[in-house]
Amino acid sequence: MKNRLPQLRAERGMTQADLADALNVSRQTVNALETGRYDPSLPLAFAIAKLFKCRIEDIFSPR
């Protein structure tokens, strides 16, 4: 799944560790999400959208 996480995170000056802490996941999970090796669960996708004040569709898209 393609996503805009790196851009959204960078726009807010967040590191992968910062984002991981905010979402209560590991930094490795954030890295896997950003590189497309891991698709988020629905609750995690909602948490990411809420954190960035976006719709899920604005962050994630099919490849």
Nearest C-alpha neighbor of 5 from the set 24, 23, 19: 19
**Residue at 56: amino acid letter:** I
pLDDT tens by residue, 6-63: 999 999 999 999 999 999 999 999 999 999 999 999 999 999 999 999 999 999 998 7
Sorted by where each starts, the structural domains of the chain and their CATH numbers stand as 2-58 (1.10.260.40)
In this prediction, residue 35 carries a pLDDT of 95
This prediction's pTM = 0.92
In this prediction, residue 1 carries a pLDDT of 84
CA dist 10 → 2, 42, 43 (Å) = 17, 23, 23
